[in-house]
Structure 1
Amino acid sequence: MIAMNSDDRPSFPTPPSGGEGFLASVARFFKFSEHHTTFRTEILAGVTTFMTMAYILAVNPAILSDAIFLQEAGDLFSELAIATALSAAIGTAIMALSANYPFALAPGMGLNAFFTFSVVIGLGIEWRIALAAVFIEGMIFIGLSLSKIRSQIIRALPECIKQATAAGIGLFLAYIALAGDPAVGGAGLIVADPVTKTALGNLNQPPTLMAIAGIVITSALVARRITGALLWGILATAVLGWILGIAAPPTAIVAWPAFPTDLVGQAIAGLSQITRTNLWEFFAVVFVFLFVDLFDTIGTLAGVAIQAGYIKENGELPRANQALMADAIATTVGAFFGTSTVTTYIESAAGVAEGGRTGFTSAIVAFLFLFSLLFIPLLQAIPAFATAPALVIVGVLMAGNVRRIRWDDPAESIPSFLTLLIIPLSNSIAEGLAVGLMTYPAIKAFQGKARETTATQWILAAIFLLRFIYMALNPTE
């Protein structure tokens, strides 16, 4: 758990004197001497972080385009790629300048899947309204970052449920990746079956064979600890598919990016489409976005900050409010540009491992995201079977959170298991969270340990229980 500073106001270095050189000014601004770092180290760390998370430029548009394509019958991949890069660059730059941490931000994996498959496709919510939910979530997150409500919510949620949610999202991502339709270039390793519900797909399908090859290639790169293994796995699988004629190669490598006119401002337009019939669903979606983003950010900041040595002896993370505010602003800006929730990336740990200790590492990442805008045609030609292996590996990494659950305690193991099981089986992160949050305080009470629960936990459980009762009484809504 992160303890928040009572005074987390931004504290920038004193502006350098006019006679000071540019590089010296930058070094002084980011406090290189205080953190015992150099330009070479910070640049290497920034490039490393970008390489480990650059797969989002291909994966996020691929996931989000499914939501828009089904409702609009239009391909907005290139605009979504631009929105992804812009939101990542802006959020990471804010983190660099306000918090001076080597943390990078981008549209979050898991949250983009929830946006597409649970909200837009599963609930049938219009994609503009879904963007509006992300926008409102970002605004609420800004407010929470300015108040003590955030820390109260953080203290109320059981640690085991947070870990189980992350693991459940990992399983959800892997399932989505493996179940992609081979007719449109998906993996097709898992298919629907009338008897067994799901079954192994047809291994004679070229996209399926390519997905298998991609999983082997990406796994080998990860096992060898190659920097940017997920990105190289995507590119290697895509190139192999192009060479074999299974997917169409790119018509161009570099092109001047076009402004995402079909996406920018659609979150604001979505607010006008909220009615009484979809108001409850809208706020339920906002809550889940807010919850997952809030705790994903806290967990990432804690994990990477510990590795970088930022956590003080009393458990306090300096400038925590600035870091959380950067995340909140990035989410709001990202929704305006047309992408799902932006969050701090755990891949930032790769740059920290290379020695990155200041916001200059993040500044390098932000620059590289902007530079990537020139390569949208290349990204657009990457087939779905090439991104599936990256989703599987991300699922593996997220599933590792289960080791932090105390499986010998029924009050932790049962709610956690139900959470991570129901998320992929119900195709909804919200349902898994609801079941976990309802069962945790109940089982604690059955154990005679009701005193170990909090009033907030019971309030959240009651809210979700009322939601399920409402759904049972209104099955068509």
Structure 2
Amino acid sequence: MNTEESVLEKPQPEPPEDGWQGAIARYFKFAEYKTNLRIETLAGITTFMTMGYILVVNPIILSNAIFLEQSGDLFSQLAVATGISSAIATLCMAFMANYPFALAPGMGTNAFFAFSVVLGLKIDWRLALSCVFVQGLIFMALTFTDVRRLLIKAIPQSLKHATAGGIGLFIAYIGLSGSVKTGGAGLIVGNEVTKTAFGNLSEPNTLMAIAGLLITSAFIVRRVKGALLWGILATALLAWILGVAAWPQGLFALPSMPTDLLGQAIGGLVNLNANNFLDWLAVTFVFLFVDIFDTIGTLTGVGMRAGYIGPDGELPRANKALMADAIGTTAGAVFGTSTVTSYVESVAGVTEGGRTGFTALVVGLLFLVSLFFIPVFQAIPAFATTPTLVIVGAMMMAEAREIRWDDMAETIPAFLTMFMIPLTYSIAEGLAVGFISYPIVKAFQGKAHEVPVGTWAIAGVFVARFVFMTLRFGKA
């Protein structure tokens, strides 16, 4: 049996052979992936609902660092830039790679852009955008040279499964640890003594997240179609009715085009000089490195869950998927936002049965349509997505059973990868720790010869990156 088919949902009724539905089915190969138009559409809506928060969160973060001389509406411009860049990248993924992966400006890199690069290093925001733009161009070049596909293949099989499990823990942690001040669940909170602790049950947000988790769990175990999406909507509606979250202040609003941001990434290069060149080069390198391995980690983890990656470790059409990411990053910089990357929330749509680029097509179109309905999406509280993130996280942990737990040389690097991804809040950092530890532990076992040369080389690159980051920025 084909590796992909072995993990897919039960065969669904084939779509009509004639008409526009039949044309869509043939183009996206519904029959091959045992899916249909309804499943793919529902999966796309679910993915969008779990990651739609980026339309609000990304503008909030970047507005700390982008300062307009004109009196434009900065939030709206950033929201539109976020939506357009997400749509471009996701549509490229749909048509170029035929994968259900969605893309948007990455969380973490946007904070690094705002607080470390612009506010910390005092680099002009236009010049910082040029770093993202150049990084995207380099990303394209690496894809053309096949380097990035070989990087995916070089990841040991145990680390592929561990990455999928680590992403599951990561997205669950994101959902549970969101601050109540920003609409999050607050089920996990910071604590000076124990680092983290259980949240405060007197917080309405926390209670709503728990209620939503129970509602969504009921939908899941009762095999309700679209359970994750209905869970989000039910939680939001309950919060609106009970007054925990404010009702939408409107349905429709004309978007403010990012006229003050458009093209600043290219124009920002004129600010490059001998005094800031080293910092500019260092920042470009950091953006490139994090984007490469965040993307590889996400494609690997979600690809394992969807059944795309077989025993040979290859992700079919990997270069096309990576090119979509590179195009998204480059276009995003031109429109005025930080690095665009593949989103771990894509696994929500995969869990709903999405297996083709039509799922990504739906997400991309919803990003464009949402620009006219930002008031509605602003009104969906962050805690409404907590149940979906937790349940999807639990489903992704199933990948951990494929790790050879009886071989400690496989177990230790895999465990470190899974453990570090959520606790460092970075797929790239977790993968780095796993990559470095894997060949070393294998060498201790007397099996260094079993480790491919490519794996040793990537481990060396990660070590060099940690040294560079520590010397340049004072931290890895």
The verdict on a shared fold, with TM-score over 0.5 as the criterion, is yes
Among 379, 382, 397, the residue aligned to 1:381: 379
Q: 1:233 aligns with which of 228, 231, 234?
A: 231
- Decide whether the 8 Å contact of 1:63 with 1:112 is kept in 2: no
Structure 1, gaps ≥5 residues long: 4-22
Q: Residues 447, 229 of structure 1: CA spacing in aligned structure 2 closer, same or farther, 3 A cutoff?
A: same
Q: Write the deviation string for residues 242-293 of structure 1: whole angstroms up to 9, x where unpaired.
A: 2222222211012333324465445546765764246435413321211221
Amino acid at match of 1:289: D
1:205 positional shift: 1.4
Alpha-carbon spacing, 1:346–1:193, altered in 2? closer, same or farther (3 Å): closer
- Match of 2:423? 425
Change (3 A) 1:57 1:453: closer
TM-score, L = length of structure 1: 0.76
* Secondary structure of the corresponding residue to residue 189 of structure 2: strand
Contact 1:59 1:387 in 2 (8 A): no
Closer/same/farther in 2, CA of residues 417 and 181 from structure 1, 3 Å limit: same
Q: Identify if the C-alpha distance between structure 1 residues 241 and 68 changes in structure 2 by more than 3 Å, giving closer, same or farther.
A: same
Q: What is the aligned length?
A: 443
Q: What is aligned with 2:107?
A: 113
Per the alignment, do residues 318 and 469 of structure 1 end up closer, same or farther by CA in structure 2, a change over 3 Å counting? closer
What is the distance in 2 between the residues matched to 1:436 and 1:241? 41
1:54 matched to 2:84? The reply is no
CA deviation profile, 1:195-217 (whole Å, cap 9, x unmatched) = 22221122111222222222222
Distance 1:150 1:371, change over 3 A: same
After TM superposition, the structure 1 stretch with the greater mean CA deviation from structure 2, 225-234 or 111-120, is: 111-120
Matches of 2:197 and 2:46, distance apart in 1:
32
Is 1:330–2:324 an aligned residue pair?
Answer: no
- Verify the 8 A CA contact 1:84 1:106 in the aligned structure 2: no
Decide whether aligned partners of structure 1 residues 415 and 304 sit closer, same or farther in structure 2, where only a CA change above 3 A counts. closer
Q: Residue deviations 1:13-58, cap 9 Å, x none?
A: xxxxxxxxxx869966974699769xxx854244223222121453
- 3-state SS of paired residue (1:250): coil
Deviation at 1:153, TM superposition (A): 2.0
Structure 2 regions of 5+ residues with no counterpart?
A: 4-17
Structure-2 separation of matches of 1:32 and 1:239: 37
Asked whether 1:242 is paired with 2:240, we answer yes
Following TM superposition, by how much is the alpha carbon of 1:96 offset from its aligned partner in structure 2, in angstroms? 4.8
Task: Name the SS of the counterpart of 2:369 in structure 1.
Answer: helix
Tell me the residue number matched to 1:403: 401
Number of the residue aligned with 1:9: none
8 Å CA contact 1:145–1:321 kept in 2: the answer is yes
Give the superposition deviation at 1:241: 2.0
1:223 to 209, 221, 224: 221
Aligned-pair CA distance for 1:373: 3.3
Q: What RMSD in Å do the two structures reach over aligned CA positions? A: 4.1
User: What's the offset of the Cα at 1:442?
Assistant: 0.5
Question: Which residue number corresponds to residue 44 of structure 1?
Answer: 38
* Alpha carbons 1:252, 1:378 under 8 Å: kept: yes
Residues in 2 aligned to 1:62 and 1:190: alpha-carbon distance in whole angstroms: 22
Residue matched to 1:195: 193
What SS does structure 2 have at the residue aligned with 1:214?
Answer: helix
Percent sequence identity over matched residues? 45
Question: Are the equivalent residues in 2 in contact too, given 1:107–1:340 (CA < 8 A)?
Answer: no
Taking the aligned partners of 1:322 and 1:249, their CA distance within structure 2 comes to: 41
Whether 2:339 is the aligned partner of 1:343: answer: no
Equivalents in 1 of 2:372, 2:296: separation in Å? 32
Note if 1:294 corresponds to 2:293: no
Supply the distance in 1 between the matched residues of 2:136 and 2:239 (Cα, whole angstroms).
39
Contact 1:51 1:227 in 2 (8 A): no
Matches within 5 A, 1:15-414: 31=26, 43-56=37-50, 58-71=52-65, 78-79=76-77, 81-98=79-96, 101=98, 103-107=99-103, 112-116=106-110, 120=114, 135-261=133-259, 264-265=262-263, 267-268=265-266, 275-277=277-279, 279-297=281-299, 300=302, 304=306, 321-337=319-335, 338=337, 340-343=339-342, 345-346=346-347, 349=350, 363=361, 366-414=364-412
CA contact (8 A) 2:153 2:314 kept: no
Contact 2:167 2:301 in 1 (8 A): no
> Does 2:443 match 1:449?
no
